[in-house]
């Protein structure tokens, strides 16, 4: 410390004659961007005044300013935004794990509301809503161009009331689906036996998830003391609370890092570590993931993979590796900012952002899904969102390719192929030791396009 002080003192003596000039220059440089900011704020005031006086109908100034704030934040990345007091209360209800609605995790893409994932055993899941669906209208009222918060307000409401969603889906004609609202209180963790292996499904990360997961597994293990392994299913889990992702990871890890988050300043690093104790007592583990596994689910999958506690089966996860901090304004009286403040990194230092977590054994759930991956169709991920935060260190998400495995022709499609392959990995002891199936022969997108064009081309007269 003394060395730094001495260097500073020497620099001051040598450069005393020029310090005043440098200071003046620094002040002038600092004032220039500030003056530009003031000018733009004045412009905003002028625009608001003009709209208030000349718009064709009377305006709601509060709503207009809230929309302007939200627009400013959403221009940064898809996950930043403004929550007005009502939306802030709804968000807190959701993280507590109970609210009135349909059970859909949504985002915004180019002004369109898009489904990240329906939650397990909710009205939306039972009605057949799928990840990647576009919601274009609610009760006949268009939600195109609407903020996610406003669209969610349209879908939430009194339990028992019906809501009609207009949905656009790839390779399907637009259709309407009527869904009855319920009190959404999904149990975020349930367990059962699958043959000789325990199966723990974690569908979201709310305030009760770690406790529910520990209780569900404990009860299952007590009834099945000869359990030979555990499958942790994180497919279509849209994420949730960071502390719950850390908590669930900690259930199966004895020690070491689970995840770190790094902010703008390279020195701004926060690490989360496991405490002693593995509730599965070293049982072999496989984690199931897919493109609907996002955020907190990716933290758990990445931690268990990097720490060699489990192998992963399924498809590359969504790729949401950014941290959103909710900052209440005036104690929440003016709502809150949801602001991206950091990136997540796995214990091995891998960034999740855009790239996602790749499985140790890539398995498509259906032959159609394998074809879609080869065509780069239906690949809804963080990387596909407009103005998504850049991947760290220039990394890229894997592009179109033929997946390693897909159900063979004679496979019973009523069964869960990814789950079957997870059981195989536990049976043979590792992904490396598991006999591999023939690689699916998917048609390349370019070939399909050429054939379709040829078939559709009208015959020309000679």
Q: Looking at the annotation, which residues are catalytic?
A: 295, 306, 320
| CA distances, 255 to each of 79, 87, 241, 309 (Å) | 31, 38, 21, 11
| CA distances, 238 to each of 84, 118, 132, 170, 443 (Å) | 23, 8, 12, 21, 30
Give the whole-angstrom CA distance, residue 370 versus residue 438. 13
Four-residue CA torsion sign, 58, 62, 67, 72: positive
| φ and ψ at residue 318, rounded to 5 degrees | -65, -40
By the 8 A CB rule, do 354 and 316 touch? Answer: no
- Cβ neighbours of 319 (radius 10 Å): 26
**Nearest CA among 276, 232, 239 for reference residue 256:** 276
Residues contacting 331, CB < 8 A, separation 6+? none
- Cβ neighbours of 217 (radius 10 Å): 23
């Amino acid at each position: 410390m003394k060395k730094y002080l001495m260097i500073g003192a020497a620099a001051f003596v040598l450069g005393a004659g020029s310090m005043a000039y440098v200071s003046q220059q620094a002040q002038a440089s600092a004032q220039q961007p500030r003056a530009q900011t003031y000018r733009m704020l004045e412009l905003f005031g002028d625009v608001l005044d003009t709209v208030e006086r000349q718009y064709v109908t009377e305006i709601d100034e509060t709503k207009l300013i809230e929309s302007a704030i939200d627009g400013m934040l959403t221009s940064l990345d898809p996950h930043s935004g403004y929550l007005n007091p009502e939306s802030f209360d709804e968000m807190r209800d959701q993280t507590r794990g109970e609210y009135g609605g349909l059970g859909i995790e949504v985002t915004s893409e180019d002004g369109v509301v898009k489904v990240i994932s329906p939650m397990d055993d909710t009205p939306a899941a039972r009605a057949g809503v799928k990840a990647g669906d576009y919601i274009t209208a609610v009760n006949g009222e268009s939600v195109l161009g609407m903020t996610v918060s406003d669209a969610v307000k349209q879908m939430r409401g009194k339990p028992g009331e019906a809501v009609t969603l207009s949905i656009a889906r790839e390779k399907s004609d637009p259709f309407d689906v009527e869904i009855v609202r319920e009190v959404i209180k999904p149990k975020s963790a349930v367990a059962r036996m699958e043959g000789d292996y325990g199966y723990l499904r974690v569908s979201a990360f709310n305030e009760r998830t770690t406790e529910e997961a520990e209780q569900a597994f404990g009860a299952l293990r007590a009834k099945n003391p000869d359990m030979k392994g555990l499958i942790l299913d994180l497919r279509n889990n849209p994420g949730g609370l960071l502390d719950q992702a850390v908590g669930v990871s900690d259930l199966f890890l004895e020690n070491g890092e689970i995840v770190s988050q790094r902010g703008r300043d390279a020195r701004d690093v926060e690490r989360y570590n496991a405490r002693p104790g593995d509730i599965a007592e070293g049982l072999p583990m496989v984690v199931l993931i897919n493109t609907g596994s996002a955020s907190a689910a990716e933290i758990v999958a990445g931690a268990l993979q990097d720490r060699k506690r489990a192998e992963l089966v399924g498809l590359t996860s969504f790729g949401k590796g950014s941290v959103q901090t909710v900052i209440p304004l005036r104690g929440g009286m003016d709502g809150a900012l949801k602001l991206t403040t950091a990136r997540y990194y796995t214990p091995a230092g891998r960034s999740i952002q855009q790239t996602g977590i790749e499985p140790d054994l890539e398995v498509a759930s259906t032959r159609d899904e394998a074809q879609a991956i080869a065509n780069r169709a239906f690949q809804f991920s963080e990387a596909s969102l407009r103005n998504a935060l850049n991947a760290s260190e220039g990394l890229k998400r894997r592009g179109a390719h033929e997946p390693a495995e897909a159900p063979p022709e004679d496979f019973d499609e009523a069964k869960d192929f990814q789950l079957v392959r997870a059981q195989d990995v536990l049976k043979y002891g590792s992904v490396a030791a598991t006999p591999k199936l023939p690689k699916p022969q998917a048609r390349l997108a370019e070939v399909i396009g050429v054939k379709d064009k040829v078939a559709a081309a009208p015959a020309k007269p000679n």
